[in-house]
Amino acid sequence: MAVMEPLKEYQQKRRFTKTTEPVPKKKSSRSGKLFVVQKHRASHLHYDLRLEMDGVLKSWAVPKGPSLDPGVRRLAMAVEDHPIDYADFEGIIPEGEYGGGTVMVWDRGTYIPESQMTSDFGRGELKFTLQGVKLKGSWVLVRTKGRQWLLIKHRDQYASTADITLSDPRSVVTQRTLAEIAADEGGNVAKAATGDPAVLPRLFKDGLKRRSPATSAKSSI
């Protein structure tokens, strides 16, 4: 498969005969400024922030998830570019494959650049306004060393000391928890449940049963 250079690393890390993740393809969304945050319980729980730039999703793994508190600086590790279609991916990456575990579309929307994104990416400072379901307002990504960046919320009307990862843990597409996604789609439920805060008692009252996924919201791509 011929792949544009920005997605070469993405392709090399995955076996598409084993995983249902989108195949690498450079394209643009309708807005051209898509963002997504995916909650991912792989070897450890983390959140993947992705911003559309130049036909791909520039991506950062945020171990503790985004914070609405401007006084909190969250480590964000730059990872390989992902295809635009990845913004719709919610489900299971098979165990033994790269990133094996459960993936949730935790937040999604568009962003407004507050800087020249392509050139400022090279300089290591990106400023942008998020227009998501959960994340809104002004943010900055600042590179500190190598692949290490910091994700920081700017002070505005959307700043808060509340922990949104605890107060709003469900998918914006299907309203499922990680454990429900795993149960619905044949994943490791016990592993996924460790990513759900204070795992909802009703899920395990009589054992988590498979059920039909909620109707998906219309794709933003």
Mean pLDDT, the chain cut into blocks of 10 residues (221 residues total): 74 96 94 97 97 97 98 98 98 97 98 93 96 98 98 98 95 97 96 82 49 46 61
Cα separation, 30 vs 112, whole angstroms: 14
pTM of the predicted model over 0.85: yes
Show Cβ contacts of residue 11 under 8 Å, excluding neighbours closer than 6 positions.
Answer: 1, 3, 23, 24
Cα separation, 193 vs 182, whole angstroms: 9
In one-letter notation, the amino acid at residue 139 is W
String of DSSP letters for 15-72: -TTT--SPPP-----SSS-EEEEEEEESSSEEEEEEEEETTEEEEEEETT---S-TT-
Q: How far apart are the first and last CA of the chain?
A: 23
Q: What is the DSSP letter of 202?
A: G
pLDDT score of 1 = 42
pLDDT score of 220 = 53
pLDDT score of 216 = 42
